[in-house]
Each structure stands twice: as structure tokens, then as C-alpha cells.
Amino acid sequence: MIYVGTKEQFYGLEQIIMDNYKFSSLNLIAKAATSLLPFLSSKPRKYLIFVGWGNNGAQGLALAQLIVKKNLGNNVKVVFCAPKLDFVARQTAANKHLTNLIIQQQKIDICYLDNSEYHEWLIECEEIIDCIFGLSFEGDMPENSQELITDINKSSKPILACDIPSGIVNDKENIPTVAIKATRTVTFFIYKTAFINYQIIPFLGKVYLTSLDFDQEKINEFCSEIIDNKIFVVNDVKIEPRPLVTNKGNYGKIMLFGSNNDYLNAGTIAANMAIQAGAGHLTWVIPQELRNYLVNTVLEMTYCDASDRSKILDLLEKVINVVIFGPGTGRTERTLNLLKLVLDNYEGRIVIDADGINVLTPELLRKLKNRAIITPHPQEFARLINKRLEIVLSERVALAKELANKYKIIVILKGYQTIITDGDLTYINSTGNPYMATPGMGDALTGLIASLCGQGYSNLMASYLGVYLHGFCGDLVAQTKKPVLATDVVNKIGNVIAQIINSSY
């Protein structure tokens, strides 16, 4: 898990690290520059590094020297991003020290912003490194800096941003003027609060996190002293191996309410995923008239006639410990009545998706206390809380936490960086890709989460673990196939679970 923090929290963390490891600011800058090297191109390139007068700029200056020293670039140029007199007057001590070293070595071409030479360099370079403002930026951006960032973005060259793209104010929802639109961002120690903001995310490119070769567990220990927002990025998971002496009854007895005439295979996808992910037993409740169409779609499960109310209630009372409700049931009166029946006659855990969410009322939500997981996409969530979609997208974390806390449920607000929260702890998923935006993908996720619940994970852990694994499968598939289908993810889950278990033990 990775902490998510504000600018001040990050600076506090830096100070704790320097105090504990007896590092100076210059030492930390050198480590930051070294940590950027693995994210450069594997082949020597013509690098153009834009540096500001602060310590973010100092990291860029240290990086320029390392590129030359290690022969990683066949041409390295540095642009000091202000007129010379202004730049010199505002330099930090570390920045000034590293500037003097570069000038003395005479191996790197430099220019200031009052020299138009950088326009030609922009055309000639093969990659740009942004070390202009970093996390320290706030207030009004000088007009010449705005023009510079606009020119950089127009260059269409690959851009690596150091810590955070310049122009982004970490603790604000919007970009005040302009910002670097990076191809990739290498950030240090923690995710910044801006990185979970949908309005900021398009400027980040792919985000990589580096702990500068410090132990990440130790970094997290330091974070716990100063970051109290209880928001974490899920960047890794573990799965416990099964004991040698066991049986399928230990891994969940699931009942699925899913599919209708219009969405026949929504339930098929959820059921197959639950089984493939390790569920011990699954009973699918479907109308008799659909059974002939669906009977061979999931070979490892049993069926229950939807009209056999007494059998359904008996199973719910005596056997079932996890319910999946909603995939493909339709937004109908029948779905509403069926959900009422389940909630009134079953006290166990339930995962509600799709049309199960669409028929939820405040009265039904109150019946979900301490046992339910709901998995809305943003539009479903907007309907559920009666807010406009744009409000949901701009306040995702706060609104998801509010609903989860109000009804004491787990809310999984799907999308890029899916949010998982119980109203107290919040997890931001780091896996998944846009090629997973295909039919049935939510059904697969629902089946996976229910399967994990049945295998003994808590509702919250099953939720963030399931979301992570779901996205991880999609990322693996996307390496060789695009788009990614729900069935691709279902077919991949067993391999992914084996990979994680085998790598952990």
C-alpha cells in the first residue's frame, strides 16, 4: 500500500527521512536523480532538461550530470526556466551548487529563458525532462513560464515529469493556468493528492513511484506519523495459499441472482469468474425457461428454479454465505421484489451490482448495514445519490466515503483508479486500463469479489483485492490483445492467482 499525501505532508516526510538517515538536502537530491535513471530510454537519446530555481530543478541538474557521466545521452542540454538575473536571484543553495558544477564541467549546453536558443533545442531533442516547478508551485505563473510550457506541450516529444508535472498545484482541484502534459511521471515516496483527481490525471501520463532505494515499509512507517487521511493506493497484494487439508466447503457457498431474456450471459460471466477464482460452490437462481439456454455455460455449478421460492429461502437460511445480486436481472419490478425477498430472509454477505443497484431505495440500503458491497459505475452512483454525473466525477472519494459511512457498507466506485471504501479506510486501485471498457466487465468483477468473500476475506479486503486482481488480469491481456473482453479476464484469473501465490511464498 502507498500513502496519498498533500504537499506539506510530503515535505514533512522528506524531513523525517533526512533526520532518520542523516541525509542533507543535497544527498536526497542526488538519490532522487539516481532513481530517475531507470525510467530513461534504454538507448542514448538527445535529452532536453528544463529546470527551475528550486530543488526540483536541482534534481534535473543532478540528473543531467548523471546522464553524461554514464553515457546515457548522446546530447544533453539544460534550459534554466527564467531570465538569468531572475533565476540566479531565486535559486536554492542546492540548485546554485549544482549549476556551478555544470558550468565548470562545460560538458552540457545551457541557456536561460531570455535566450531564444531553446526553441531550436526543442526541435532537435528526442526526449524532454520536466524539472521546472515540481511540488512547490503555487500562486501566479509568470507569463514567460506559461509560454514555455505551452511550447513544450506543442513539441509532441516524450516528456518525463520529475515528481509532478510542472503547473499542477497538488492540493487544488483544477490547473490554474497551464501544466506540462507528461508522457510519464516519476514520483517520490507517496502518491500526491492530485494524482487521484480526474481533472489532473490526463496530465500525468503513466505514473511510476520510486522510494529512492529506501525500504518502502519504513517509508510507510514514517508516513503513518504525519498522514492521517486513511487513503491508500493499492500497488501490490498477497494471496494466502490453501492448507493441505481442506475441502470445497471452506471456500464459499454462493447464490447468484442474475440474467434475464435481454442479458442472458451477464450471470454466466459472473458465475464463471466466481468459480475460476476459487469459489467452493455456486447455485444460480434462474427462471426455468432460461435454463435450457444457460445450462452448459457454467459446468461446475448447480441451478435453482427461480419459481421455487421455498427452496430458495431454505438455501438462503441454511446453506448460502454469499449472495451475488443484479448482473443482468433488468431494472424491473421483479428485480426489486426479488431483492426485497433476499434481504428480508437472508442475513449474510451480499454483493450488489448493475440492476440490483438501480432498484436500491433508502429503505433497502438500510438493510445492507455491515454486510453489503455495492459496485456502481459513475452513472449508477449518480442516480443512487441523486447528483449530477459531473459532480460525482469531481468528488469521487468524498461522495463514495459519505455513502459508505451513512449505510455502513462497502462502496466500489468503478472507473479509472477505482475507489474502494468503507467510509473510514479508502483504497485507490492502480491496475486496469481503458481497453477493459467492454461489455460484461462489471459482471466479472462482481463474481470475483463474491468468490473472495466466500473464501474468507473480509468485505473490504475482498473488495480491494478483487478490484486489483481484475485490473491486473486486464493489464496482462492488454499486453498482447486489445480490446480486453470480460471472458479474457475470466480465463486469466486462475493464472494470476497462481502467479501471486507463487511469488509470495
Residue 185 β-bridge partners = 161, 207
Give dist(CA 35, CA 14) in Å, integer: 15
DSSP 241: P
Least Cα distance to 195 among 442, 185, 36 occurs for: 185
Note whether 441 and 416 are within 8 A (CB): no
Give dist(CA 5, CA 235) in Å, integer: 16
Residues 6+ apart with CB under 8 A from 237: 464, 465, 468, 469, 500
In the numeric block, which cell numbers belong to residue 497?
492467482
Q: Which helix (H) or strand (E) holds 433?
A: none
In the numeric block, which cell numbers belong to residue 435?
481497453
Give dist(CA 338, CA 386) in Å, integer: 23
Query: What type of residue sits at position 15?
Result: Q
Do the annotations mark residue 328 as ligand-binding?
yes
Do the annotations mark residue 417 as ligand-binding?
yes
Do the annotations mark residue 416 as ligand-binding?
yes
Least Cα distance to 364 among 383, 380, 384 occurs for: 384
Give dist(CA 505, CA 495) in Å, integer: 16
Do the annotations mark residue 442 as ligand-binding?
yes
Note whether 487 and 479 are within 8 A (CB): no
Residue 159 β-bridge partners = 128
Residue 80 phi/psi, 5° resolution? -80, 120
Query: What type of residue sits at position 377?
Result: H
In the numeric block, which cell numbers belong to residue 153?
506541450
In the numeric block, which cell numbers belong to residue 285?
437462481
In the numeric block, which cell numbers belong to residue 58?
536541482
Do the annotations mark residue 414 as ligand-binding?
yes
Query: What type of residue sits at position 255?
Result: M
Other beta carbons within 10 angstroms of residue 301's beta carbon come to 17
Residue 325 β-bridge partners = 257, 352
- Number of residues in the chain: 505
* The Cα angle at residue 189 between residues 185 and 191, in degrees rounded to 5: 55
Residue 492, Cβ density class (10 Å: 0-12 exposed, 13-18 middle, ≥19 buried): buried
Residues making up the binding site for AMP = 414-418, 442
Residues making up the binding site for (6S)-NADPHX = 266, 328, 377, 443
Residues making up the binding site = 266, 328, 377, 414-418, 442-443
